[in-house]
Amino acid sequence: MRETITARRGGPDDIPAVLSLLDVAVEWLVAQGRTGQWGTGPQSTSPRRLAQAEQWARAEGFWIAETGGVVVGALVVGLPADFAPAPSEPDLYVNLLVADRRRPGQGIGAFLLDHARALARAAGIGLLRLDCHDAGDRALVHYYERQGFTATHPLTFGEWTGRVLEQRL
């Protein structure tokens, strides 16, 4: 039986739990041989990721997924990333989506994407976008496609390749 997942606004006190989720995700990715997405080292000690987490904590679009009072996922939505192509209409951009890899099959990622869709609709926005790693087996791109997104613009930063995906609401 699936536990109930709830969403609440995140804040500075949630940063350690979110960084821990990112560390677990990196460990899982490395074990899968997928080192291109977030590298091989812990996110909780990355100066770039720590600075980014401080920005999340101040953002209105920082959301936490909980099950039984335990943080099991995080979502950050807002303006598009600087490197993303400009949208042709107002959009809500998923800047972070992370689900606890120790709880596979519980629908945490899908729950958070549903929450992002609801936020966009409540704001009168009809386009939800995000970007993700797009190399190797493209598993993450395929996940988002199963969630109703369409792959659009390719992205490249040095060795990292990604893709913008969008969904009309």
Domain membership of residue 64 as a residue range: 6-168
Residue 103 has pLDDT above 70, yes or no: yes
SS3 107: coil
Residue 148 inside a domain? The answer is yes
Q: Which of 77, 74, 73 is nearest to 61 (CA)?
A: 77
Can you tell me the mean pLDDT for 107-125? 98
Residue 27 inside a domain? The answer is yes
pLDDT confidence tier of residue 46, bands split at 50, 70 and 90: very high
Could you report the per-residue pLDDT of 51-94, keeping only the tens digit for each?
999 999 999 999 999 999 999 999 999 998 888 899 989 999 99
Q: E strand or H helix at 142, and its extent?
A: helix 139-146
Residue 1 inside a domain? The answer is no
Angle 47-58/15-31 helices, nearest 10 degrees?
130
Residue 114 inside a domain? The answer is yes
| Burial degree of 73 (CB within 10 A; 0-12, 13-18, 19+) | buried
Strand partners, 151: 165
Residue 138 inside a domain? The answer is yes
Residue 51 inside a domain? The answer is yes
Supply the pTM of this predicted model.
0.94
Helix, strand, coil percentages (3-state) for the chain, rounded to 5, are 35, 30, 35
Can you tell me the mean pLDDT for 114-143? 94
Residue 156 inside a domain? The answer is yes
Q: Which of 60, 25, 65 is nearest to 42 (CA)?
A: 25
Number of domains, the chain: 1
The CATH number that applies at residue 83 is 3.40.630.30
Residue 111 inside a domain? The answer is yes
